[in-house]
Structure 1
């Protein structure tokens, strides 16, 4: 497939290599460690291991399956460990975007989806990746509920996850003690008031209010709550997270808050709102620049430029932000350049030297995928760049919901 990524449009980014991931081209989050990429599959119930020592010829070498009714769509690596979420695959029952994104799933009790451990798996799987090509499962944290959506962990004692637990209307924030990686254990949790149905709380939410995930910096957790906006939590005491501030710009904007990237050295946080429906039925979403000099009062100061190298509004399907490169400690780190994935617009690189006037440094827009792997009805075959991992040497690894893993090289950063 060497010809696949002849770009539709590119600036300061060049194509190196691509793989269909061994016939499972559905990709979500990707981590890269010492010449190996770990790609979470969105629809194939597992995770693909890819040898990327030669970035021009990536080779899939292993597949780590989860329960066929679950998904492992997000993972984290650091050192010789990898954490992989396992969660009931909601696309099995919510087969259109309106039902999945339109309101809280309101599980309250997971038994409505079957028996955990038999009909699906739910929790956090820990792998030893000291042999990068052959991950070995060493631990599992089972949760009483539907599982974890996404996890944040950078090698210290604690991991942080979004978890759909029994008794809650949707995903909430939890803290996980990783002191013994063979036996992770939850030690704290926090939720937006109204989400604890089993505790007698009543939700009065507009849209879907659920934690997508949180990124942690200096004991502050930056949580993205879909239609519930952004929270800053004090997590110095891991057992008792405390609210610092909560901002929600929906309405008047369209919600879908997905990813928050704190840049503490500049007192900024970058926040991406995910496009979750086709552009002809959903308002345009934005990636925001927020001033956090006063963390109790975050202030929006700019938005990233909307991609305009093509007429994206005329393309079928979604158009808008999805994910942000989160400046992981083993990868490329920058407080000036922001790497973002956009549905139908590929990889975008923003320069925020002037945070009040962000500019585009570069982009890479591949052609649409050749085959639809997404099994939901009425899904358009479109480019859906899901995630990106950026290495210190400027190589970037892009995933797509239907088009596998692509390797590109970024110039000038």
Structure 2
């Protein structure tokens, strides 16, 4: 298999893994020389020894329970947290992409037969590369989608629970990691149907549901897909409180996915996910917001769009997906950002002048050798999913079908 990129500047190739024959990759964490890669279609997570980044070796696989997604995970302080949820991509209700991305998913997902595990799995990874399950926290509903955990007592999850139209914020108490406990909830008004609330948005057109929140100190920056951005005070983890809300879905097409604070500069990066083929959902951007006044976050610029190819004509999704999230122990910077852009690969941006972000590097993998995506009609093009950058500026990039790429950023750390 050739790993010659379609386009490259500022990154060099180090290694590649097909993840033990399971090349579908979602979120990736790298800890103590091992990559933990969640899967979208293979039902579990893979453990890859990347201590030699030029020769990554798959050393383990942890299966998800039958019928269960484990698409996102977090690792910190000797723990690996893994979501469990109904495998929505295997559900006949969501075989067409637009049925997943462009409407509230609560009712059809919650009405399905419950042959799956919903909740949070906790693993001990104090022995590197050897996850050992120590706890499971069940929830009533579809389950969890994405997590935020950087150590300590508190974790934060998006959770689709009985009675809600879509995923909401759930805080989780990990004071005893062997016995995690749900602690607090927050949702957009209109989402709690069981509580008598009625959505104020068109649920057949827009999807208001939490993708995830990133927490800095006592502040959570939460991305609600077509419901926009909220800034929440979580000083009381049992009762989050709204500080500010912004929604630019109309006219910009929604899909708010990741909100990454740069607290030393009072900036917030917000990526709007491209969720339709051929740009059908509009021109998706990564925004730079000034948050000096947290009650009034204000956009000041967007990242430049990739211009080394006509990516709208390439097929598949083109536009932002995940940002490298400046996790403790990884590469941390407030002037150099890394992002995946789906069919445009992985990108790096210089934010020295936040009013004029500059693209400084990119690496676009070749088309996948085979398709693992089980949904009908998906095009055979790269769809770079997640990026994790370690302290040596090595980028670990996952893809829905093309395995794990390990790249070296060749520019200066900023």
TM-score (ref. length: structure 2): 0.97
The equivalent residue for 2:172 is: 176
Matches within 5 A, 1:308-327: 308-327=307-326
Quote how far apart the aligned CAs of 1:131 are.
1.6
CA contact (8 A) 2:287 2:302 kept: yes
The equivalent residue for 2:382 is: 383
CA contact (8 A) 1:107 1:166 kept: no
**Using the alignment, how far apart are the partners of 1:52 and 1:338 within structure 2?**
22
CA contact (8 A) 2:104 2:207 kept: yes
The equivalent residue for 1:30 is: 28
Paired residue secondary structure (1:174): strand
Quote how far apart the aligned CAs of 1:280 are.
4.6
Quote how far apart the aligned CAs of 1:299 are.
0.5
CA contact (8 A) 1:249 1:255 kept: yes
**Using the alignment, how far apart are the partners of 2:166 and 2:18 within structure 1?**
33
Quote how far apart the aligned CAs of 1:269 are.
0.3
Paired residue secondary structure (2:188): coil
Matches within 5 A, 1:138-153: 138-153=134-149
Task: Establish whether residue 363 from structure 1 lines up as the match of residue 362 from structure 2.
Answer: yes
Quote how far apart the aligned CAs of 1:281 are.
2.3
Q: Deviations over 1:352-401 (max 9, x none)?
A: 10000000111111111111100001211111100011000111100000
**Structure 1 unaligned spans of 5+:** none
Paired residue secondary structure (1:107): helix
The equivalent residue for 1:79 is: 77
The equivalent residue for 2:302 is: 303
**Structure 2 unaligned spans of 5+:** none
- Match 2:18 to one of 13, 17, 20: 20
Matches within 5 A, 1:266-345: 266-345=265-344
**Using the alignment, how far apart are the partners of 1:137 and 1:316 within structure 2?**
40
The equivalent residue for 2:38 is: 40
Quote how far apart the aligned CAs of 1:312 are.
1.2
The equivalent residue for 1:102 is: 102
Task: Establish whether residue 256 from structure 1 lines up as the match of residue 235 from structure 2.
Answer: no
CA contact (8 A) 2:160 2:166 kept: yes
**Using the alignment, how far apart are the partners of 1:395 and 1:130 within structure 2?**
23
The equivalent residue for 1:166 is: 162
Quote how far apart the aligned CAs of 1:188 are.
0.5
CA-based RMSD of the aligned residues comes to: 1.1
The equivalent residue for 1:398 is: 397
Greater CA drift, 266-275 or 280-289: 280-289
**Using the alignment, how far apart are the partners of 1:364 and 1:262 within structure 2?**
25
Paired residue secondary structure (2:104): coil
**Using the alignment, how far apart are the partners of 1:282 and 1:198 within structure 2?**
31
Cα distance change, pair 157–128 in 1 and its aligned pair in 2 (3 A): same
CA contact (8 A) 1:284 1:319 kept: no
Quote how far apart the aligned CAs of 1:404 are.
0.6
